[in-house]
């Protein structure tokens, strides 16, 4: 398995010198597994964001923010993302590698690389809305329904409060807090620090899949776990294939911004382009799923072809990460 420079040690017949050892990143000096480090990073940031950030929100707004506190709640949310996710992520990356830009894949690909993923995520959105309709039809024990429905309503109400807007300035502020900041911050954490760490322990594809699954669970919404995990896996694939985190940042932003715009336009966010899935017949749902599924596959194939050069660059640069073995 190929390992990036953040986890590389030159292997020679002699023991490494003290100066060479000190030049290694922290986790190599401490002999910490990249997989373990990825999980520890997730745990630390989860505690910071959910516990510290949640406590701050509770102090200012209580358990359930009122309509008059929505703007303040959005500000706290945005600041929590920056100070409790972004800054810790940057610090942890510095413990992981001596070349942060390369580790995080901060290079920009050719502009053509961005087009197909944007169409792809739009298609995936529609497919996942159909899935959610089918998911709600799964029979559940009657005794659990009141609890489940109350939990679902609480999550949806909190979502509507923070995403809804009634004016263009408010919409722009919502897009900043809900789309722009999370797209950058969460991608640096998940597709940057965590996925790169997992890739070094498990390989690129397994690392992307595992990160995507954790991304779905990290949002603490059991009703949207599978759609969020699917989104996370897709974002991981885009980052890995394009060898650039900016593709997943743009796609993540587009996904969240379209939801904010839909709420502003009073467009049912459960609906798909072809109609409201809750009122569509089974045949129409199947047809819509096939159409958008075909579009998703087509755009993914075109994306793979458009990133052939980037994939070759990955394969070429991988040789730079190989341990040097001498007799």
pLDDT at 310: 61
- Is 4 a residue whose pLDDT tops 50? no
Q: How far apart are CA 281 and CA 245, in angstroms?
A: 39
Instruction: Identify any residues that bridge with 11 across adjacent strands, giving them in sequence order.
Output: 325
pLDDT at residue 140 is higher than 90: no
Distances in Å between the Cα of 6 and the Cα atoms of 69, 93, 223, 316 are 44, 10, 37, 17
Positive or negative torsion for Cα 229, 230, 232, 236:
positive
pLDDT of amino acid 322 = 38
Residue whose entry in the numeric block shows the structure tokens 């953040």: 6
Of the two residues 37 and 326, the one the predictor is more confident about is 37
Q: Which residue has the higher pLDDT, 157 or 254?
A: 254
Is the pLDDT at 254 greater than 60, yes or no? Answer: yes
Instruction: With beta carbons less than 8 A apart as the criterion, state whether 259 and 269 touch.
Output: yes
Among 278, 271, 282, 299, which residue's Cα sits nearest to residue 126? 271
Would you give the DSSP letter of residue 279? T
**Which residue shows structure tokens 């911004």?**
257
pLDDT tens per residue across span 260-270:
998 898 776 56
Q: Is the pLDDT of residue 283 over 60?
A: yes
Overall average pLDDT of the 209-215 stretch = 97
Give the Cα separation of 152 and 89 in Å (integer): 31
Average pLDDT of the chain? Answer: 84
**Is 314 a residue whose pLDDT tops 60?**
no
The answer to whether the beta carbons of residues 38 and 193 sit under 8 Å apart is yes
pLDDT value of residue 78: 92
| Average pLDDT value for residue range 80-109 | 94
Quick one: what percent of the chain has pLDDT higher than 90? 54
pLDDT at 9: 40
How confident is the model over 12-22, as a mean pLDDT? Answer: 54
pLDDT at 325: 35
pLDDT of 311 > 80? The answer is no
Nearest to 309 by CA among 110, 103, 120, 117: 110
Contact 321, 3 (CB under 8 A): yes
pLDDT at residue 22, as a whole number: 60
Helices (H) and strands (E) in the chain, counts: 17, 0
CA-to-CA separations, 81 to 32, 116, 143, 244, 253, in angstroms, rounded: 27, 28, 37, 22, 15
The three-point CA angle 158-229-124 to 5° equals 90
Tell me which DSSP letter residue 222 carries: G
Report the C-alpha gap between 136 and 130 in whole angstroms: 10
Task: Point out the least confidently predicted range of 101-110, 141-150, 186-195, 289-298.
Answer: 141-150
> Residue 294: what pLDDT?
97
pLDDT of residue 225 exceeding 60: yes
Helices (H), 82-144: 87-96, 100-103, 112-136
Under a CB-based contact definition with an 8 Å cutoff, are residues 51 and 220 in contact? no
């Amino acid at each position: 398995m190929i390992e990036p420079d953040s986890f590389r040690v030159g292997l020679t017949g002699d023991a490494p010198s003290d100066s060479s050892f000190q030049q290694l990143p922290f986790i190599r000096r401490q002999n910490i597994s990249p997989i373990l480090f990825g999980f520890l990073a997730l745990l630390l940031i989860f505690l910071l964001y959910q516990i510290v950030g949640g406590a701050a929100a509770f102090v200012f707004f209580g358990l359930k923010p009122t309509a008059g506190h929505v703007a303040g709640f959005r500000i706290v949310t945005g600041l929590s993302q920056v100070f409790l996710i972004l800054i810790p992520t940057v610090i942890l990356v510095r413990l992981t590698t001596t070349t942060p830009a390369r580790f995080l894949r901060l290079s920009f690909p050719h502009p053509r690389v961005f087009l197909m993923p944007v169409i792809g995520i739009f298609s995936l959105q529609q497919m996942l809305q159909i899935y959610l309709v089918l998911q709600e039809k799964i029979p559940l024990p009657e005794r659990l329904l009141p609890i489940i429905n109350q939990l679902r309503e609480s999550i949806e109400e909190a979502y509507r409060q923070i995403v809804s807007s009634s004016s263009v300035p408010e919409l722009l502020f919502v897009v900043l807090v809900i789309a722009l900041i999370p797209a950058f911050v969460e991608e640096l954490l998940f597709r940057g620090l965590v996925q790169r760490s997992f890739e070094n322990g498990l390989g690129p594809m397994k690392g992307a899949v595992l990160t995507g699954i954790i991304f779905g669970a990290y949002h603490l919404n059991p009703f949207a776990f599978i759609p969020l995990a699917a989104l996370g896996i897709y974002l991981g694939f885009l980052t890995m294939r394009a060898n650039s985190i900016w593709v997943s940042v743009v796609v993540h932003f587009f996904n969240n911004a379209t939801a904010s715009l839909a709420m502003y336009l009073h467009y049912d966010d459960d609906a798909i382009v072809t109609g409201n899935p809750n009122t569509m017949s089974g045949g129409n749902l199947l047809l819509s799923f096939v159409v958008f599924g075909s579009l998703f596959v087509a755009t993914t194939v075109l994306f793979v072809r458009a990133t052939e050069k980037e994939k070759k660059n990955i394969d070429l640069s991988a040789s730079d990460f190989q341990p040097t073995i001498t007799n």
